[in-house]
Amino acid sequence: MENSTPFKFFRLAAYGDIGQMKYFYFAVVSVLYFVIILANALLIGVIYIERSLHEPVYLFLCALFVNQLYGSTGLFPALMFYLLSDTHDISLLYCYLQIYVLYTYAITEFSNLSVMSYDRYISICYPLQYNNIMTPKIVLGLILLSWVYSFFLNAIVISLSLRLQFCGNVLDRLYCDNYSVVKLACSNNMLNNIWGLVGTVLSFSCTICPTIYSYVRILQICLKSSKETKQKAFNTCTPHIASLLNFSSGCLFVILQGRYDTAHLPPILRTILLVYFLICPPLFNPIMYGIRMAKIRQACKKVLRL
């Protein structure tokens, strides 16, 4: 059914109470966006230039950093524009585009982290067969699969939302998200709700479950291994687990805010929780991996001539 809603835009109501603080927020957001671009682009460039980093673990990291730039671009330019603008209306087309970018970013992030856990599992549990299993073709295939899987799932989400008619157009958000848009529908949104459940199950089963399995197997191996093997597992898995928990927490904050009344929370806290998954992982991951992984530190010094 073609969308015949009388509304041609959505209004992002979360910007309404900012007042003169908008200039301060704009400065903070600009600095954050600059640091995110600089940190992620630097490590992407270092991994690309330094041939010693052309190994599966670093190529998966590179894919993670690319996705973080992609997701940040889905939020920050629009956020900076609306902070300074007197109008906070977003066209339906751009709203759906933003939903698609942010949702593909989220699922691709989980997929990349899942693939990285599989890489750690092979490295620790099958070290002698690692190079035979994680061939360049397999690595490239896993990275492409992460993106294609996410693009496919979210293409269905957007196609179902495009058919909706709306009885309102005010979103209490800084950005568009599909759950808030669907709640405004006055047409039948049963298909959207069913696919929302199916998509969640698919996303969980195809990303989180393999990660859990990988770490269960790693734990089993470590319990029977030497102290040296345990130390290697700890050093290689700690940054990944920290990234996974950090990103999962951010997504959980968004889900809880969409489903439960959080009006009792201070507005600034609600805003931070809404954008956490789009700001903290892209800031946290390149800094953490750059500090924790010696080969990346050395390559950065070499490339930057430090």
Tell me the domains of the chain and their CATH numbers: 9-304 (1.20.1070.10)
Q: For 200-222, what is the mean pLDDT?
A: 86
Closest by Cα among 10, 9, 21, 11 to 267: 21
The answer to whether residue 259 scores a pLDDT higher than 70 is yes
Q: How confident is the model at residue 290 (pLDDT cuts 50, 70, 90)?
A: confident
pLDDT score, position 94: 93
Q: Tell me: the pLDDT tens digits for 35-65? A: 999 999 999 999 999 988 999 999 999 999 9
Q: For 220-233, what is the mean pLDDT?
A: 81
Closest by Cα among 211, 218, 212, 217 to 233: 218
* Sheet (strand 170-171) strand order: 89-91, 9-12, 170-171
Return the structure tokens found at 184. Answer: 């405004």
Q: What are phi and psi of 90, to 5 degrees?
A: -125, 130
pLDDT score, position 306: 56
Q: What is the average pLDDT score of the chain? A: 87
Per the listing, tokens 């393999």 go with 210
Q: Which helix (H) or strand (E) segment is 13 a member of?
A: none
Running DSSP on this structure, what letter comes out for residue 208?
Answer: I
Q: Tell me the pTM.
A: 0.91
